[in-house]
Structure 1
Amino acid sequence: MKKSIGLLVLCLSACTSTPQSPQYAQYQLGNAKAWYEQGDLLSAEQQLNALHQNGAGSAASWRLLGNIHLRQHRLEAAREAYQKSVQLNPHEADVWHNLALTELRQTTATLMRARTQLQRLPDEDERLLALLLKLQRVNIGNEHP
């Protein structure tokens, strides 16, 4: 019995360390996209994390993970995912747009935290914050999938 369990564990660990076929990676990405479009961000994220852990990530999978993180306001995680996507495909304008939007939101969040801590920002920073908030209202509707 112990021998059988040990053999099973060995087989399973070999399966997880074996690179995935491109077809299976595409299948996983397709599932993640479908769940994302249905609003099931948790399932989509888990599918993408499994894909990336197996070394089968692509520019598209990292972009989708960035979109998930951005929707959840996990800005640093979104930024990291978009940067990985850009490294794999630097010619994808939508990813550059989403990376810029993420960094815009990070800057805005930093100024908002500063305003909370300081009770009041210097006038120059208040104007900057107002402009950043206005810019975000324009760009939120243009977030690229």
Structure 2
Amino acid sequence: MASGSCACHYISYTASTAPTCLVNCHCTSCRKQAGAPYQTWAFFATDDIRWHVNPTERRSTNTSTRTFCPRCGSTLSMLKHSDLKSIAIAAGTLNEGKTRIPLPSHHIFLSEKASWFELSERDGAKRWDKWGVYDRL
């Protein structure tokens, strides 16, 4: 079982499984939300996540909805409208403990990568200019 929370711990969740994979998204929307060169997402089956307090939802694009904590503003998840069976949880919200958390396996939206960020070729992660892998998870 995996678990996590926002920064202020108002919103927490548990997952009945470990994440299936981690993906680093370099799209402009994720970079702006994270305030970083990319957002790392941990993927779970939507039915495997149980929110103890439901986060606030915001339709972030015409293809996805994101959630966040209304108290501290932490990004919590993203749901792609064309794939409601899979949910992306912000990997930074995961509690590290007994759950095996995999290394990121993919970089997506490299066509929107921050020009000032140097991406190492040594991480072994696959690379996609657009959605790519997300459609195959």
TM-score above 0.5, yes or no: no
Scaled by the length of structure 1, the TM-score of the pair is: 0.23
User: Per chain length, whose mean CA-contact separation is higher, i.e. which structure has more relative contact order (CA < 8 Å, sep 6+)?
Assistant: 2
- The structure that is helix-richer by fraction is 1
- The structure that is strand-richer by fraction is 2
Scaled by the length of structure 2, the TM-score of the pair is: 0.24
